[in-house]
Amino acid sequence: MTTILRAGRREIIRHPSRVPRRSRTERRAPVAPSFCDPSAMEALAVRLSGLDPYVDGAMRIVAFYDTLMRRRVDLPALARASAGLAECVAGIRLHGTGRSTRVSPQGTQASTPPAPASTEVPITLDEEEIGTVWLERPGPPNPLDEVLLDRFALAAAAAAERYGPARTTMADPALVELAVSSDSDDAARARALRLLGFAPDLPVHVVAVRTSLPLDRVGTLVCPGRPVKAAPLADVGVILATTLDRTGFPAGVRAGIGGTGSPDRSWRQARTALRFTTPREPVVHHADLGALALLADIPEEAVRDNPDVTAIDRLSPEDLETLDTYCATASVRRAAELLHLHHSSIARRLDHIGRTLALDLTAPAGLTRARLALTTWRLLHN
């Protein structure tokens, strides 16, 4: 017997929707939000009418600075334009110079004492802060000052990139110290050199200087037309330059020149070379010292205990000049010509100096000892 199984049809029970059905007309009609009552709409209109002048002013500021950047203005012109637009003193400070430029709304250098500045905005170039811009508004800040300062900083970064971080010679001493200090790491030193305006691939000489002349004048004389920075550091002036003209140092300047390796090493060499300078040789390059540079590493106690060195203290200034000239020339007649004296007078002086030092200055060994003693004595007093 065959059994045929048949599945019964299941009845589908439809439950009523929880959302009441609406007509087409009802579905098309927009539902007004609860906040759009007349009072809320009036408040929104007031807010929008208040924004219109702000937006219009901001757009004018953006267009103003865009025009300045297209015209490739430099930093002084940018400061003058910003002061005129803001109707107050505008300032620019670049870390590479350590100086501030403050311009009045009339376009002249501000002579009034600095007023409390509104918020300073950093000048950023390649993700590095190279300076700041600010406004000195005597009254309350203008609502558009924030927009103005932002565009001011952008334009200043563009001008600094175009014309260099600084076209002045004097630099921020803190940056110079960071560039030449042995305590700085490579990253900090590279950043300091960049902020000072030196390209990464350019060699940099470091010069230690003692002078009563302005350092910026000395810097421009020894490195005309090329990147050069100068700053006082402790009791010594520092000059950083890509190239050097040794003949450009003015009279009365003592200078020690380091090599073109790492700036911290060049600074150590420059200070050592400065100690070897004399009135007769006021500019000394460390590379020219050779083995003489080793004398600078002798401990001071050992120098003071040496009889040849201590004997130099017993010479008069006249005898010191005669000994220096004779050691430089190794010739009695040549020394006489340089000192404008008769050679017999020089011979008598050298005989007296030899007895004081207990040395025979006419013998090669005695002359060598005298040279070493005189050089080491100078190092002790320099």
| pLDDT(89) > 80 | yes
Count H helices and E strands in the chain, helices first: 15, 9
The CA dihedral of 319, 320, 321, 322, to the nearest 10 degrees, is: 50
- 351-370 b/e (C-beta count within 10 Å ≥ 16 → b): eebbeebebebeeeeebebb
Task: Grade residue 2 by pLDDT with cuts at 50, 70 and 90.
Answer: very low
Average pLDDT over residues 142-167: 82
How many Å separate Cα 28 from the centre of its chain? 69
Task: Grade residue 239 by pLDDT with cuts at 50, 70 and 90.
Answer: very high
Average pLDDT over residues 231-243: 90
Q: What's the confidence (pLDDT) of residue 257?
A: 96
Task: Grade residue 235 by pLDDT with cuts at 50, 70 and 90.
Answer: confident
**CA 196, CA 155: separation in Å to the nearest integer?**
19
Please state which of the ranges 8-12, 33-37, 244-248 shows the lowest mean pLDDT. Answer: 8-12
Q: What's the confidence (pLDDT) of residue 197?
A: 80
The CA dihedral of 215, 219, 220, 226, to the nearest 10 degrees, is: -150
Q: Which residue has the higher pLDDT, 44 or 201?
A: 201
8 Å CB contact between 246 and 266: no
Highest mean pLDDT, choosing among 6-20, 27-41, 313-327: 313-327
How many Å separate Cα 76 from the centre of its chain? 19
8 Å CB contact between 248 and 221: yes
| pLDDT(8) > 60 | no
| pLDDT(72) > 50 | yes
Q: Which residue has the higher pLDDT, 228 or 99?
A: 228
8 Å CB contact between 292 and 272: no
Write the DSSP symbol of residue 105.
Answer: T
Q: What's the confidence (pLDDT) of residue 58?
A: 85
**DSSP per-residue codes, 33-50:** PTT-SHHHHHHHHHHHHH
Q: Which residue has the higher pLDDT, 127 or 42?
A: 127
Q: Which residue has the higher pLDDT, 295 or 3?
A: 295
- The share of the chain scoring above pLDDT 90, in percent, equals 40
8 Å CB contact between 71 and 157: no
At 366-375, the pLDDT tens digits run 999 999 999 9
Count CB atoms within 10 A of the CB of residue 135.
Answer: 25
| pLDDT(11) > 80 | no
Task: Grade residue 209 by pLDDT with cuts at 50, 70 and 90.
Answer: very high
8 Å CB contact between 262 and 179: no
Average pLDDT over residues 260-284: 92
At 173-208, the pLDDT tens digits run 888 999 999 888 888 888 888 888 887 777 889 999
Highest mean pLDDT, choosing among 125-129, 164-168, 288-292: 288-292
| pLDDT(14) > 50 | no
**CA 167, CA 94: separation in Å to the nearest integer?**
11
Task: Grade residue 37 by pLDDT with cuts at 50, 70 and 90.
Answer: low
**CA 139, CA 119: separation in Å to the nearest integer?**
14
Q: What's the confidence (pLDDT) of residue 266?
A: 94
Report the DSSP pairing between strands 254-257 and 236-241. unpaired
Up-side HSE of residue 167: CA atoms within 13 Å toward CB?
Answer: 10
